[in-house]
Amino acid sequence: MDSLKDIFTKKGATLHHAYIIEGDKERVRSLLAHTFKESHDDGHVVHSADYSEREVSTFGIDEAKELRERQSRSAVGLRRVFVICAERFTHEAQNALLKTLEEPAAGTHFFFVVPSVAGILPTVRSRVVCVREDAPHATDTQAREFLAASYDERTAHIAEMIEGKNREHARAFLSGLAEVLRARYRSSGATDAYGSSLRAIERCRRHLDGRAPSLKMLLEYVSLVLPRC
């Protein structure tokens, strides 16, 4: 997947009619609002009446019908933007949007923000552009300090993420660890320790998008299995 910034920074790129963005909803919403609502000279700004945000836990068939009806109305300006943030989209809702995504009203752009594209049907993905938010990584210093720490010190390091149930922070943290380990993997040659550590991190990152195991179990697992180095 391309990164989120590529939507607006690729030279000569035209804005697609529909995107599914995997990432943190608050950061993505902030970027989209800045891009489409604030005054600057990149050509993306739309009339305030043509910019719509909606946040729901589950986007179901009723929400899909409402979105179809709203996008069929006339716009004030030449372009209209719909930003939909949801933890999950039901299959019924996704199927109900297929026709809209195939033949959207002229000048209409949809941005569906999700924590993971894993629950999006292939038939929907084929009609949209899937992109990933440029999530911040843990700094090299933070990652190196964690890898050099004892188990007790690691437990203290992850306590705030566990208490806040912050999966986005955890995802960035794991990405930072992986970057440091990859660098060591390349510089020292293929060793079993680094290879197995990277696989353990990748398993945890995949499970972050589900409800189980818990965030506590995942981070404690990483703290336990990664070698002190």
> What integer best gives the mean pLDDT of the chain?
83
For residue 122, what pLDDT is reported? 92
Using H for helix, E for strand and C for coil, what is the string for 13-64? CCCCCEEEEECCHHHHHHHHHHHHHCCCCCCCCCCHHHEEEEEEEEECHHHH
Residue 189 has pLDDT above 70, yes or no: no
CA atoms within a 13 Å half-sphere pointing along the CA-CB vector of 135: 22
DSSP structure class, residue 118: G
For residue 37, what pLDDT is reported? 77
The token duo for 205 is 């990152």
Q: Which residue has the higher pLDDT, 28 or 123?
A: 123
The token duo for 4 is 């989120």
- Give the pLDDT mean for 188-195: 63
Inter-axis angle of helices 167-188 and 192-207, nearest 10:
160
- Lowest average pLDDT, out of 3-7, 20-24, 65-69, 157-161, goes to 3-7
Predicted TM-score (pTM) of the model is 0.59
The token duo for 220 is 């404690």
> Could you tell me which of 48, 58, 126, 123 has the C-alpha nearest to residue 86?
58
For residue 207, what pLDDT is reported? 83
State how far the alpha carbon of 158 is from the alpha carbons of 10, 107, 208, 222, 224, in Å: 37, 46, 15, 10, 12
For residue 142, what pLDDT is reported? 82
List pLDDT tens digits, range 69-95.
Answer: 999 998 888 889 999 999 899 999 999
Question: Helices (DSSP H) in 46-166: which residue ranges?
Answer: 61-71, 91-96, 98-102, 122-125, 140-148, 151-164
